[in-house]
Chain A
Amino acid sequence: MTAVELGQPSFGGGLDLVPTTDETQKAKDYTSDQEVRWCPGCGDYAVLASVRSFLPELGLKRENIVFVSGIGCSSRFPYYLDTYGMHSIHGRAPTIATGLAVTRPDLSVWVVTGDGDALSIGGNHLIHALRRNMNITILLFNNRIYGLTKGQYSPTSEVGKVTKSTPMGSVDAPFNPVSLALGAEATFVGRALDSDRKGLTEVLRQAAAHRGASLVEIFQDCPIFNDGSFDVLRKGDEVAERLIPLVDGEPIRFGNEGEYGVVRSASGGLEVARIADVGEDAVVTHRAGEEDPTQSFALSRLSDQDLTHTVTGIFRKVDRPTYDDGARGQVTAATEQAQQRGDNLQALLSGKDTWAVLPEPENEQ
């Protein structure tokens, strides 16, 4: 069979093929009757509230939204939304979402996963879903701990972390989820803090609108097993000096007075400097749509994962053909060709080389 011209690419929005409704929706419409059972103070509550109040904004038919999750505290998420949902098995949600996204372009498919779920047991599926650019939106709840199994260190835990399974401190080097996603050819990568409803909603909005795989890392507090792990980004005098919110097309400045900026380092990477020392012109401008992911990659690792400098917002947002559009395009093209040729099941089964066995001569008249 020869390759088929598919007329690609035709980048649309992530939800272009999903039916919409004129009815006004409220967060309540997206609230299922399941009682929410996370621990008091868990960051997952804040994310749930943001998602519930954000979904009506999409104006989609509720029945055309599907949330698929793996296993973990965060993966209980689908139960609490009144959409279609599947709480699957540990690490495998991207695979299930893949089958759905390929066969059902009329669905808005979301994956909810934890740092263990996505980066440990499911790491392989995550990178491949990103590489293929499946039209799905992945919410990675990163609490830097295994919550559901009661507090073992995770692939995002800091070196030296003392947990139930690392009483002498972890010797395991952590992943940086944003760096990982960029390395896996992700076309959309964002990051937000659970408690920052505005920032989170903006990332979700753009992630949903993106056609292709979107990875959103959400820093999430687990007050039971990793209490206050992101507190330095929430309260105190240092917040403004640590948090670096990205605005597309703008110079990357931060600090209480905007006194800091991100500039090129001598080694070719990025670093933080006082604008007073380097001058305004030295500050780099953020371009999420830049094909070359190098600057976004450098931004994702401005400091170690000790949160000294933490960039939030949308790191990368570029157009690339999605696997599901491509796969459907081939099926559509092949179906048209088959119809033109008049292919049918009988002809297929019969094939080309056949022979007939006639009735027994005795039975012939």
Chain B
Amino acid sequence: MSTDTAVGPPSREVRQTHRVVIRFAGDSGDGMQLTGDRFTSEAAAFGNDLATLPNFPAEIRAPAGTLPGVSSFQLHFADYDILTPGDRPDVLVAMNPAALKANIKDLPHGGMLIVNTDEFTKRNLAKVGYESNPLEDDSLEPYTTHHVAMATLTRGALEPTGMSKKDAERAKNMFALGLLSWMYHRGTEGTEQFLREKFAKKPELAEANILAFRAGWNYGETTESFAVTYEVAPARLAEGTYRQITGNLALAYGVVAAGQQSKLPVFLGTYPITPASDVLHELSKHKGMGVTTFQAEDEIAGIGAALGASFGGALGVTSTSGPGVALKSETIGLAVALELPLLILDVQRGGPSTGLPTKTEQADLLQAMYGRNGEAPVPIIAPQSPADCFDAALDAVRMALTYRTPVFLLSDGAIANGSEPWAIPDVADLPDLTTTFATEPNAPDGSGEFWPYLRDADTLARPWAIPGTAGLEHRIGGLEKADGRGTISYDPDNHDRMVRLRQAKIEGIEVPDLTVDDPDGDADVLVIGWGSSFGPIGAACRRVRAAGMSVAQAHLRHLNPMPSNLGDVLRSYRRVVVPEMNLGQLSMLLRAKFLVDAHSYTKVAGLPFQAEELAGVLTDAVKGDLPA
């Protein structure tokens, strides 16, 4: 990829900038996700750090041109390590009036707006309630607005192909991509090659899209409308080889890797649900790596089959979102009683009920923690970013296999669809997850019997004796079992002991100590979060520190069991602030467990926190202005 060819005419100013946030917004049918994705790949290939936030409606194709049909993709790229997809765009590309109306309020005054004027017809304006054409009145005055007739220009560029007007116009998203690629000095080869591969079976479509892409590029180059182009240098990330990755892809890779590292066949039992389905789609491609995927009749069957596979000695995995977890709860309880390994991937979305299927939220924490009958403890791990899903999956499988237990991994919509650079790990450095099956009778009384619930003294895990092993035939089930022997037991003392043993086993899981980031070393406010809010919280901390104040940040990856130093950490700060995309679930746990007066800051809007807003909260905390 060339980086130095893309310079405008000599008269044109090239401005160096450290970071840019671009938002592509259009109709669901306009291909905004693809456009954003492609620009992301260009930024990644160029070596920028980046973070993305796709935002799309739950309807596959809401009526064209309407507000509910608007789909957008925000991309933040920079020459240094960034933490979030950005609060507000610097550049907004609006493909129609609906996209303009839905997104303009996020564009700061002075921001750049590029509009596809062709869609601003009377009818389309009326559809979204514009009484006058914003391109003609003064409502867009605060912005640097560029009027571009993208559809017309694309049609013109595609004329030689003989394509119908309608088909030609479809490529206008590539026109937009070309224009932006030019403006940010991105090469063209990567996208052209991508389009050739994507439309390998329809070369005429590939050519049409490439023509549109080049037309956009040339439009920037040859017209005088754009006086400035921008350069964002590559980021100085840690040394390594990088690729761009979304959370769901990293999750799927983590599962494949866990199968390889444990030398176990992987069995995914699942039922499609947004935003978790991509994990199924991806894993279904990796049969050649020992992964079997089973699309069941419902979530209950998905997890049941996964548990059955685990009973048989496979690595059982199930993937879902909150409504699916609700259906799986009884089987998770069974897995707790059976003490078999099982990985439960919950990609959280807005709730309750069907809620906001395509939006993000982190409100399943207490469901994962307590959403079962009886005392049924389950370890919980939450990745903090898209790439982190890979490591989190491996760690979850480590816990599942070592402690013979179901394990929850809580991702969310923002992580699942968002992307960032990932330092590709060397497989030789991945953890060894091999485990052993029981092969011999183990009764301590020398009877030669097999006791399926005789525990390992260190881990309290029980032996995993899989069918096909002679001499270890045994029956297990959801009924309470006698400690050790594992036969049905209704004995009150035994039940009390077993409840405590199961709890102790989970509490005894080894998890790393919590580390605190306090560069000034004198902070008396600690902000602690979990999951996908890592980025915005971290970005907020940077802002607060840049303003000369001290704030400490810690992020909980292990939510059950929690790190053993957590209580000490919490107690060593004057004020603890807990931002969450729920109504205070972690803060409730921290208050209950550690008796700390944690301040809960919550927002449940279906979108990630903004760094600006959290910086305000933290500033108030540092100044002692938070309500008690």
Q: A residues near B, CB below 8 A?
A: 1, 32, 34, 61-66, 68, 71, 78-79, 81-89, 92, 94-100, 102-104, 106-107, 124-125, 128, 327-328, 330-331, 334-335, 337-339, 343-346, 348-351, 353-360
CA distance A103 to B260 in the complex (A): 16
* Interface 0/1 of B36-77, CB less than 8 Å to A: 000001001111000000000000000000000000000000
Chain B residues proximal to chain A, CB less than 8 Å: 41, 44-47, 190, 234-244, 253, 256-257, 260, 265, 267, 269, 285-292, 294, 296-298, 300-314, 316, 330-331, 333-334, 338, 424-427, 467-479, 487-488
Of B45, B46, B312, B425, most A-chain CB atoms within 10 Å: B312
In the assembly, what is the distance between CA of A86 and CA of B297, in Å? 21
A64 / chain B contacts, CB cutoff of 8 Å: 467-468
Contact in complex: A61, B243 (CB < 8 Å): no
Q: Which residues of B contact A81 (CB under 8 A)?
A: 475
Given that A349-B424, A357-B240 are contacting pairs, would A85 and B253 also be in contact in the complex, using a CB cutoff of 8 Å?
no
Q: Which residue of A lies closest to B284 (CB)?
A: A1
Contacts of B242 in A (CB 8 A): 354-357
Also in contact, A103 and B475, with CB within 8 A (given A125-B301, A125-B304, A349-B427) = no
> Looking at the complex, which one of A79, A97, A338, A356 makes contact with B241 (CB distance below 8 Å)?
A356
Q: Is the CB of B475 within 8 A of A356?
A: no
- The answer to whether B467 and A63 touch across the interface, beta carbons within 8 angstroms, is yes
Cα–Cα, bound, A358→B240 (Å) = 7
Closest B residue to A67 by beta carbon equals B475
Complex interface: chain A residues within 8 A of B426 (CB): 346
Q: Are B307 and A99 in contact (CB under 8 A)?
A: yes
Within the complex, which residue of B307, B338, B427 is in contact with A345, where a contact is CB–CB below 8 Å? B427
Closest to B310 in A: A99
Distance in angstroms between the alpha carbons of A89 and B267 in the assembled complex: 20
- Chain B, interface SS category: mixed
Contacts of B474 in A (CB 8 A): 84-85
B243 touches A350 (CB 8 A): yes
Please judge, given known A-B contacts A89-B478, A125-B304, A348-B286, whether A100 and B467 are in contact too, CB under 8 Å.
yes
B231–chain A nearest beta-carbon distance, Å: 17
Q: Contact between B45 and A86 (Cβ–Cβ < 8 Å)?
A: no
Q: Which of B287, B310, B330 contacts A334 (CB 8 A)?
A: B287
Residue in contact with A103 in the complex, picked from B234, B267, B296, CB distance below 8 Å: B267
Nearest 4 interchain pairs by C-beta: A95-B304, A87-B477, A99-B308, A338-B288
A61 to B88, CA, bound (A): 66
Per the bound structure, the CA–CA distance linking A98 and B311 in Å amounts to 11
B301 pairs with A66, CB closer than 8 A:
no
Asked if B45 and A355 sit within 8 Å, CB to CB, the answer is: yes
Given the known inter-chain contacts A78-B475, A331-B292, please indicate yes or no for A348 contacting B287, CB distance below 8 A: no
Q: A98-B301, A348-B286 are in contact. Are A354 and B424 (CB under 8 A)?
A: yes
Q: A94-B304, A99-B312, A348-B286 are in contact. List 15 more A-B contacts (CB 8 A).
A: A61-B470, A62-B473, A68-B308, A78-B475, A87-B479, A88-B334, A89-B330, A92-B330, A98-B305, A99-B306, A100-B308, A102-B294, A338-B289, A353-B45, A358-B239
Cα distance, A101 to B334, chains bound together (Å):
19
Q: Are A330 and B473 in contact (CB under 8 A)?
A: no
Nearest residue (CB) in B for A84 is B467
Provide 8 A-B residue pairs closer than 8 Å at the C-beta atoms, listed in order of the A residue: A1-B285, A63-B469, A89-B478, A96-B304, A335-B290, A343-B288, A355-B45, A357-B235
Quick check: B267 and A86 within 8 Å, CB to CB?
no
B475 and A87 within 8 A (CB): yes
Q: In the bound complex, what is the Cα–Cα distance between A81 and B467 (angstroms)?
A: 14
Interface centre among B292, B316, B331 (most CB of A within 10 A): B292
Q: Do residues B467 and A348 form an inter-chain contact, with CB atoms below 8 A?
A: no
A89 touches B290 (CB 8 A): no
Q: How far is the CA of A143 from the CA of B469 in the complex (A)?
A: 35
Task: Answer whether A96 and B297 are a contact pair too, CB < 8 Å, given A89-B478, A104-B312.
Answer: no
Residues of B within 8 A of A98 (CB): 269, 294, 296, 301, 304-305, 308
A349 touches B253 (CB 8 A): yes
CB distance from A209 to the nearest CB of B (A): 20
Task: Return B42 CB to nearest CB of chain A, in Å.
Answer: 10
How far is A79 from B478 in the complex, measured between Cα atoms in Å?
12
A65 to B44 Cα, complex, angstroms:
53
C-alpha spacing A94/B294, complex, angstroms: 14
A331-B290 in contact (CB<8A): yes
Indicate the member of B265, B300, B475 with the most A CB atoms within 10 Å.
Answer: B475
Whether the pair B308, A97 counts as a contact (CB closer than 8 A) is yes
Q: Which residues of B contact A360 (CB under 8 A)?
A: 236, 239
Chain B positions within 8 Å of A68 at CB level: 308
Which one of B44, B235, B468 has the greatest number of beta carbons of chain A within 10 Å? B468
CA distance A66 to B466 in the complex (A): 10
Contact between chains at A79 and B475 (CB < 8 Å): yes
A98 to B224, CA, bound (A): 66
Interface centre among B234, B297, B308, B313 (most CB of A within 10 A): B308
**Is B305 a contact of A84 with CB atoms below 8 Å?**
no
Minimum CB–CB distance for A364 against chain B, Å: 11
Which residues of A lie under 8 Å from residue B307 when comparing CB positions?
96, 99
Q: Are A92 and B304 in contact (CB under 8 A)?
A: yes
Assuming the contacts A349-B424, A357-B240, asked whether A86 and B311 have C-beta atoms less than 8 A apart, the reply is yes
Q: B478 and A87: CB pair below 8 A? A: yes
Q: Point out the residues of chain A lying under 8 angstroms from B289, CB to CB.
A: 338, 343, 345, 348
| Known A1-B285, A89-B334, A99-B316; contact A357-B473, beta-carbon cutoff 8 A | no
Closest A residue to B239 using CB positions: A359
CB-CB under 8 A from B316, the residues of chain A are 99
How far is the CB of A362 from the nearest CB of chain B, in Å? 11
Contact, CB under 8 Å: B294 / A63: no
B427-A346 in contact (CB<8A): yes
A69 to chain B, nearest CB (A): 8
Residue ID in chain A nearest B340 by CB atoms = A86
Residues in chain B near residue A339, CB distance under 8 A:
288
On chain B, the residues within 8 Å of A100 by CB distance are 308-309, 311-312, 467
Q: What distance in Å separates the Cβ of A213 from its nearest Cβ neighbour in chain B?
A: 14
A348 to B301, CA, bound (A): 30
**Chain A residues positioned under 8 Å from B467 (CB to CB):** 63-66, 84, 100, 104, 107
Q: Which residues of B contact A61 (CB under 8 A)?
A: 468, 470
Closest chain B CB from A191 CB (angstroms): 25
Bound form: Cα–Cα A312–B246 in Å: 57
Contact A32 B475 (CB under 8 A): yes
Say how far A298's CB is from chain B's closest CB, in angstroms. 28
**Which of B256, B289, B298, B471 has its CB near the most chain A CB atoms (within 10 A)?**
B289
Which residue in chain B gives the minimum CB-CB distance to A101? B308
Query: Using Cβ atoms and an 8 Å threshold, which residues of chain B touch A96?
Result: 304-305, 307-308, 311
* B465 to A, closest residue via Cβ: A84
For B297, the chain A residues whose CB sits under 8 A away are 124-125, 128
Interface pair A34/B488, CB less than 8 Å apart: yes
CB B596 to nearest CB in A, in angstroms, measures 38
How many Å lie between the Cα of A86 and that of B476 in the bound state?
A: 5
Q: Is the CB of B285 within 8 A of A83?
A: no
Residues of B within 8 A of A344 (CB): 427
A278 to chain B, nearest CB (A): 44
A100–B333 CA distance with the chains assembled, in angstroms:
19
